[in-house]
Chain A
Amino acid sequence: MSYARRAWIILWKDLLVERRAKEQTNALLFFCLVLLFLFQFALGPDRDRLAAALPGLLWLGFILAGLLGLGRSFLTERENDCWEGLRLTPGDKSAIYLGKLAGNCVLMTAVEIVLVVLFGVFYNVDLWTPAAPLALVLALGTVGLAAVGTLFAAMTTQVRARELLFPVLLLPVQVPVLLATVSATQALLLGQPLADVAHWLKLLAGADLVYLTIGLLTFEFVLEG
């Protein structure tokens, strides 16, 4: 009970701080808009080119927004020695990881919903018909991205060159997640049923499980430095 309560209070704190400061939300929304405009200019009105590139563009947007958001997720802990305060709290430190991960997933999901809606409107693509299976792929991909991102953000938060180090560490590890999410998204947007992308979903679920387990088991060592 205490474990769940501690994970919950971390999530509550992160969302409350974000709601008040709006540091990440504002930056990410602006970033999404810029990205959409750039893609629109780069691809032009050619529907076939757009259909082929859309899954990659969608996930490129998610990844870039994720890098921006995840990389900042422990910055509030650096202020006023709060990082050390968390170290001094008793109990299993993986509760902190779980709370942080949940907070990052909520934020990333919000950004993804905005991006998907804007993609649908800007590019006149029907994202409504495959909405349910697409949501499953997005959810699995988000957990995979956030699970490693949260851990690496904690690892790099005390490092001077964290903005450089964070993507360098994160992106190579994300290859299985990116491969599976882009392929599954492409198949779903082409109208294929969910059963046709089952192998990608299994890969995603497996990667999520591995990343989550590693995060939960190693976070205490990361926190203790």
Chain B
Amino acid sequence: MIDGVSFRLAAGQCLALLGPNGAGKTTLLRILATLLRPSAGALQVGGLDALREPDRVRPLLGVVAHGSLVYEDLTARENLRFWEIMRGGDASAARLADALAQVELDAVADERVRTFSAGMKRRLGLARVLLSQARILLLDEPFTGLDRRGRKWVSEFLLAFKAAGGAAVMATHSFGGGLGLADRIGILASGRLLLDRPTADLSTEELHRVYESLTDSVEAAP
């Protein structure tokens, strides 16, 4: 359950959501993605009421969840073509090839996704975001299952996305990733946002300390 969560995110900013398992990070991301409808509250995205007009908000969103939204028996190129046509966008061969080159999957563009590693699937998901020209990126555990190179790649993608004026919300267990990439850190526990602070004000040690104290106090509460 999410209760009393309120925040505002400007263009070019990234909010990293930290919290223990079951804290509500994925639920909050699903609400932001208009996939779950809250029983109360308001959600505005780009000046639009996302609860009333989800169809107008959805083109602004790029979602990279655990599953990466890929069909295993299609090739990387076919997956991009499928989602781009479903979005009503330009699925020309040149655009798809360009997106695949940007995520360094051009060499395996015609191989079935079933043969891809988790990192390659994540990159294919990000290629879909590149094509969609989304302004808001929602990432659920973007570093899970990735090796060091994969983590570096996703980090660079996120920084470039922010630099281009995009906003991002990232649910993660990675304190280093959160501090290194985000402009703000949010700590979520038992569905409540217990902290929302600029990363510039937090060192890694302090973040660990604040995190432990806040989550412990919530878990200890009756």
A16 to B73, CA, bound (A): 8
A86 to B69, CA, bound (A): 9
B residues 170-196 touching A (CB-CB < 8 Å): none
B85 touches A5 (CB 8 A): yes
B71 touches A90 (CB 8 A): no
A80 to B71, CA, bound (A): 7
A13 touches B74 (CB 8 A): yes
Tell whether A87 is near chain B: CB-to-CB under 8 Å.
yes
B69 touches A85 (CB 8 A): yes
Tell whether A91 is near chain B: CB-to-CB under 8 Å.
yes
Residues of B in contact, count (CB < 8 Å): 28
Contact with B along A72-93 (1 / 0, CB 8 A): 0000100111101111111100
Tell whether B61 is near chain A: CB-to-CB under 8 Å.
yes
B58 touches A89 (CB 8 A): yes
Q: CB < 8 Å: which of A2, A80, A85 contacts B72? A: A80
A91 to B55, CA, bound (A): 7
Q: CB < 8 Å: which of B78, B82, B88 contacts A90? A: B88
A164 to B63, CA, bound (A): 33
B58 touches A90 (CB 8 A): yes
> Looking across the interface, which residue of chain B has its beta carbon closest to that of A88?
B58
> Looking across the interface, which residue of chain A has its beta carbon closest to that of B113?
A80
B45 to chain A: closest CB distance in Å? 13
B73 touches A90 (CB 8 A): no
The listed residue with most B CB atoms (<10 A of its CB), out of A5, A21, A82, A87, is: A82
B71 touches A88 (CB 8 A): no
B63 touches A79 (CB 8 A): no
Question: Which residues does chain B contribute within 8 Å of A85, judged by CB atoms?
Answer: 63, 69, 83, 86
Tell whether B33 is near chain A: CB-to-CB under 8 Å.
yes
Q: A84-B63, A88-B61 are in contact. Are A9 and B82 (CB under 8 A)?
A: yes
Query: Chain A: interface residue count, which band?
Result: 20 to 34
B73 touches A80 (CB 8 A): no
Q: A82-B69, A85-B69 are in contact. Are A16 and B74 (CB under 8 A)?
A: yes
Question: Which residues does chain B contribute within 8 Å of A88, judged by CB atoms?
Answer: 33-35, 58, 61, 63
The listed residue with most A CB atoms (<10 A of its CB), out of B55, B81, B83, B86, is: B86
Question: Which residues does chain B contribute within 8 Å of A169, judged by CB atoms?
Answer: none
A79 touches B86 (CB 8 A): no
B residues 43-76 touching A (CB-CB < 8 Å): 55, 58-59, 61, 63, 65-74
Question: Which residues does chain A contribute within 8 Å of B72, judged by CB atoms?
Answer: 79-80
> Looking across the interface, which residue of chain B has its beta carbon closest to that of A10?
B86
Q: CB < 8 Å: which of B34, B61, B67, B112 contacts A20? A: B112
A193 to chain B: closest CB distance in Å? 45
- Shortest beta-carbon contacts, A-B, top 10: A81-B67, A80-B67, A85-B69, A89-B86, A9-B85, A17-B73, A20-B73, A2-B88, A81-B65, A21-B73
- A: which residues have CB within 8 A of B? 2, 5-6, 9-10, 12-13, 16-17, 20-21, 76, 79-82, 84-91
- B: which residues have CB within 8 A of A? 33-35, 55, 58-59, 61, 63, 65-74, 78, 81-83, 85-88, 112, 121
